[in-house]
Amino acid sequence: MNAILAVARRDLLMVMRRKSEVLTALFFFVIVTSLFPLGIGPEPTLLRKIAPGVLWVAALLATMLGLQRMFAADHADGTLEQMAISPTPLVMLVVGKIGAHWLVSGLPLVLIAPILGIQFDLDASALGILVVALLLGTPLLSLIGSIGAALTLGVRGGGVLLSLLVLPLFIPALIFGAGAVEAHISGLGAGGHLSLLAAMLALAVFFAPWATTAALRIALE
Amino acid sequence: MLSAHGLTCVRGDRRLFSDLDLTLQAGEWLHVRGENGAGKTSLLRLLAGLAQPADGDIRWCGEPIDNAQDYRRNLLFFGHHGALKEDLTALENLEFAAAMDGASLTLEVALRALQRFGLKGREQLPVRVLSAGQKRRVMLARIATRNATLWILDEPFTALDVKAVDLLSTLISDHVTGGGMAILTSHQTMPIPGGRVVQL
């Protein structure tokens, strides 16, 4: 447990020393979501309709921005080797890294999303559902993304490959995440969508670190 | 005790070495020698458990190393990269490395190790501003603070000045005479007694 926290703390500390990487993804999210109301014009019904989809797609793309860096630096400077031969199981250290990744790339999106949602004329309860859906969905993105990041480690042109690999896997999160907000707006209730999102998250929490660990071991050989 | 039997390493379609046997007892060290590309680094990575041999097996106290938890606790491996984080200070690098290994490292011990390797006054500087040799010295401090029985070091003398080479030689010979084991690659002849040469 201490080792997990140590890895997470180390990654967070390094992000604090180099803030631009986190801010880039956050500004990307803000700007992309702000372009839609500006481009479409003030049509509240249309904006309300596209809001969940736009916010979710922007969140997916913003997550993609930092994904490649998840293990790249550790691979380049030999830290990954040390993690692989550490007495602490590699899978635990991977959990720590995924946790840190979510804290710096997922959580800020969740926190700023309600402010951006106002641009789309979403009411308070819809914003609440949006936050809950993102809170369940963004860790899912970090977990699935970590598998892709580990698989494309050390591959030339890995960035493009990573997008091709990971974006299709993000589709279920997108469907149920955006669907939750839409279902709430149309009066159907978001419970079903959120439950499915939570189920996917539970599944990913269990399996993704193992898959990532296996991929990292292949990358190290 | 570390023993390897019938080790074969294949990289791509090239056979680097085959049928290599070696044993290492407490109080001994091995000097792995060979030309560039002879497979020295590959051998060390096999022994550290970072790669799988094409054939043969490696045992630590009779247990295959892939499932010996005990092996990892007793192993210290350094490849060409020092595993240092450039944005963190030397002190933070030591602390986090120890925490990841599940070991405890007090501030006092870490500071003393850094001081011993001539980094006094530079403990709080980010590693990125240190010179190549000073970065290696941080790595040496890591070796000194990690409590491991078997040291596997790949080219540990690279980029070190005369004084640091002496320090590291002393560190290794103290370790070996104290009942530890070491496996090193180096192109220089090393001033550490009691070693055996493995020629690839």
Q: Which residues, numbered 8 to 67 in chain A, qualify as contacts with chain B under a Cβ-Cβ cut-off of 8 Å? A: 9-10, 13-14, 17-18
**Alpha-carbon span B17 to B43, nearest angstrom:** 9
The overall pTM is greater than 0.80:
yes
Cβ pair B99:A2 closer than 8 A: yes
Residue-averaged pLDDT of chain A: 91
> What is the reported pLDDT for A167?
93
Nearest residue, CB atoms, A3 vs list B52, B87, B102: B102
Q: Tell me, what's the ipTM?
A: 0.87
Residue B196 DSSP class? E
Q: Strands, DSSP E only, in B83-164?
A: 150-154
Cβ B143 vs Cβ B110: under 8 Å: no
Stretch A33-47: mean pLDDT: 89
Q: Are B50 and A84 in contact (CB < 8 Å)?
A: yes
Do A66 and A140 contact (CB within 8 A), yes or no? no
Q: Quote the pLDDT of residue A210.
A: 97
pLDDT at A113: 94
pLDDT at B165: 86
- How distant is the Cα of B97 from the closest Cα of chain A, in angstroms? 8
What would the 3-class secondary structure string for B29-48 be? Answer: EEEEECCCCCCHHHHHHHHH
Q: A193 falls in which pLDDT band (50, 70, 90)?
A: very high
Contacts of B72 in chain A (CB under 8 A): 85-87
The pLDDT-based confidence of A21 (bands split at 50, 70, 90) is confident
Dihedral sign, Cα of residue A139, residue A1, residue B140, residue B179: negative
For A91-124, how does the pLDDT look when each residue is reduced to its tens digit (9 = 90+)?
Answer: 999 999 999 999 999 999 999 999 999 988 889 9
> Is there a contact between B78 and B41 (Cβ–Cβ < 8 Å)?
no
* pLDDT score at B143: 87
Span of A107-111, A186-190, A212-216 with lowest mean pLDDT: A186-190
Q: Please report the residues numbered 46 through 105 in chain B whose beta carbons come closer than 8 angstroms to any beta carbon of chain A.
A: 48-52, 69, 72-73, 75, 77, 79-88, 92, 96-97, 99-102
Q: Would the pLDDT of A215 be above 90?
A: yes
Residue A61, pLDDT score: 93
Give the full edge-to-edge strand order of the sheet including B195-199: B75-78, B150-154, B181-185, B29-33, B195-199
**CB atoms A13 and B126 under 8 Å:** no
Residue B159: its pLDDT value, please? 79
The confidence score (pLDDT) of residue B61 equals 86
- Taking the CA of residue B8 and the nearest CA in chain A, the distance in Å comes to 15
Distance from CA of A74 to the nearest CA of B (A): 8
pLDDT, position B145: 87
Min distance A84 CA to chain B CA atoms (Å)? 7
Instruction: Tell whether B125 lies on the interface with A, counting CB pairs under 8 A.
Output: no
Per-residue pLDDT of chain B (200 residues; tens, 9 = 90+): 888 888 888 888 888 888 888 888 888 888 888 888 888 888 898 888 888 888 888 988 888 888 777 888 888 998 888 888 888 999 899 888 888 877 778 888 888 888 888 888 888 888 889 888 888 888 888 888 888 889 999 888 887 888 888 888 888 888 988 888 999 888 777 777 777 888 87
| DSSP collapsed to 3 states, A134-175 | HHHHHHHHHHHHHHHHHHCCCCCCHHHHHHHHHHHHHHHHHH
Contact criterion met (CB < 8 Å) for B88 and A9: no
Which tens digit of pLDDT belongs to each residue from A48-82?
889 999 999 999 999 998 898 899 989 988 899 98
Give CA A80 to chain center in angstroms: 22
Q: Please answer whether residues B154 and B40 qualify as being in contact, where contact means their C-beta atoms are separated by less than 8 angstroms.
A: yes
pLDDT of B73: 86
> CA–CA separation, A109 vs A182, rounded Å?
19
Sequence-ordered list of residues with C-beta below 8 angstroms from that of A45, at least 6 positions apart, any chain: none
Q: Which residues of A touch B100 (CB under 8 A)?
A: 3, 6-7, 10, 82-83, 86, 88, 93
CB within 8 Å: A78 and B73: no
Q: Using an 8 Å CB-CB cutoff, list chain B residues near A76.
A: 81
Q: What is the reported pLDDT for A66?
A: 86
User: How close, in Å, is residue B126 to chain A by CA atoms?
Assistant: 10
pLDDT > 80? residue A214: yes
